[in-house]
Amino acid sequence: MLEKIFEVRYDELDPHGHISPVSLLRYFQEAAALDAQSFAFGWENIQQNRLGWVLTHMQVEFLQTNVKRQPVKIRTWHAFSEKILSRREFEFLTEDGATLARGASWWLLMDVDKRRITKSPPELLALNPAEPNFLVQEENFKRTPAVDAVSLPAVLITTRREDLDLNGHVNNTHYAAWALENAPEGKTLQKLLINFKNECRDGETISVNTLQETELLRHHCLLKSDGKEAAHAITYWQ
């Protein structure tokens, strides 16, 4: 397990002075990389074999909202690996020790040259605990919108080189940020489910198409200009 405290910067606050959900996702990504490095599966280790970690899907539950600027502690750990997927848990704590958010994420290893998924190596499987520590139950990522869901105006995004990560494609935190562009006015995010489907490069146009199932439930389809779905997110609001 890795525990790390992040000092929230002013540019990571939303217009109301609160810590933004996407800022927490960026902290998680950094902590996940550091923890993987601690057991020899960090970027520096696996890139020697031309491998890279790819986030396939994740869920986050926000237990406190409208949190003002303060240090945030994250705890994250490798929970379990199977043939292809590895599961990682994480939670955020406020300065007074209360749980701010928690969730789970699923990852796979990819051959960065062939752009193909690889099996989990024996060294990674050997790290599996006898009793995995899961914080949350896996949500239904395949939930489809109700037939009477209302289509909202699309948001168009053009990707930039600045959005790319070490694997040469758009970083996962940007997908989440784009999905949240169609947030309901005056509401705060309670839960985010996001499924990453196809990688994006710089200079692509992404259409964020949102279906409003209820006032507090939305489905977001991030569609690439070639017709492929980059990601699909489900958001719950309060």
pLDDT at 167 over 80: no
Confidence of residue 125 (pLDDT cuts 50, 70, 90): very high
Query: What Cα–Cα distance (Å) separates residue 91 from each residue in 100, 117, 228?
Result: 8, 28, 32
Confidence of residue 169 (pLDDT cuts 50, 70, 90): confident
The span from the CA of 1 to the CA of 88, in Å, is 10
Q: pTM here?
A: 0.94
In what helix (H) or strand (E) does residue 30 lie, and over which residues does it extend?
helix 21-38
pLDDT at 134 over 80: yes
Q: Average pLDDT for residues 133-160, to the nearest whole number?
A: 96
Q: Which pLDDT tens digit goes with each residue over 82-104? A: 999 999 999 999 989 999 999 99
Q: Considering all CA atoms of the chain, what is the largest pairwise distance in Å, rounded to the nearest integer? A: 50
Model pLDDT, residue 166: 82
Q: Which pLDDT tens digit goes with each residue over 180-189? A: 999 999 999 9
